[in-house]
Amino acid sequence: MVLLENEAFLSELSKLFQKARSNGSVTMTFKRYDGRNRPQPRCGNPPLPEPMEHLCLLRAKFRSKKIATVIHQKDINKFQVAYSSLLKGNLDGLKKLKKPKTKTKME
């Protein structure tokens, strides 16, 4: 998995959406990230210190290509605006679902 900066992640994500437009899908995951790259210690061992700032780990996957970025708390508003405009531009080819007709009883 490739860890990218926020702007590079958005540009790579738009490329993934373009590739997935004909066939396939992009899988996105959001996760609260505490900055640790090691598991929690077992009982009896001293705990790791708590992070000073909350982070968000964002991953995207299309077939075998995986990308990720870490968003800092102070950058979340700027990233959210850029991400929402990216989604609006790339989610225009969605198929409209057909709703089944339901019969209602008249009483």
What's the pLDDT tens digit per position in 22-70? 888 899 999 998 877 777 778 887 776 676 788 999 999 999 999 999 9
| Entry pTM | 0.77
Going by C-alpha positions, the residue among 49, 51, 48 that lies closest to residue 73 is 51
For residues 25 and 86, what is the distance between their CA atoms, to the nearest angstrom?
16
For residues 10 and 69, what is the distance between their CA atoms, to the nearest angstrom?
9
For residues 71 and 75, what is the distance between their CA atoms, to the nearest angstrom?
7
Geometric angle at alpha carbon 65, from 63 and 71, rounded to 5°? 120
Indicate the class that CATH gives domain 2-35+52-90.
Answer: alpha beta
Q: Residue 1 belongs to what H/E stretch?
A: none
In the chain, how many H helices and how many E strands? 2, 4
**Bridge partners of residue 27, in order along the sequence:** 61
Q: What are phi and psi of 55, to 5 degrees?
A: -125, 165
What confidence tens digit (pLDDT) does each residue in 69-102 have? 999 999 999 999 999 999 998 887 667 778 888 8
